[in-house]
Amino acid sequence: KINPIIDWTWEQIQDYIKKNDLPYNSLLDKGYPSIGCEPCTRSIKPGEDLRSGRWWWEQDGNKECGLHIERKRDD
């Protein structure tokens, strides 16, 4: 994979979007920088981690919904 903006900060990405008049999801403006499923997602408060609105009711730590886990095939 090639990711030319891997070293950009969140602010640099937002500035680029605005300067180049790029489309983006309006939920960003409502405090949703990271979207999961509807019941698992809430808006974040200023200063919170960008992904803190996902799985918000659970304890801190790595959270995985299961979509990115490799599953074994039943033969």
The tokens for 69 are 């886990």
The predicted pLDDT at position 39 comes to 80
> Is the pTM for the entire model greater than 0.85?
no
Per-residue pLDDT at 57 exceeds 70: no
The average pLDDT across 40-49 equals 87
The end-to-end CA distance of the chain, in Å, is 31
Alpha helices by DSSP H, 1-75:
10-19
Candidates 68, 72, 33; CA nearest to 50 is 33
With cut-offs at 50, 70 and 90, classify the pLDDT of residue 26. very high
Percent of the chain with pLDDT over 90: 32
The average pLDDT across 53-71 equals 63
The tokens for 23 are 């489309």
The predicted pLDDT at position 50 comes to 84
Task: Enumerate the active-site residues.
Answer: 65
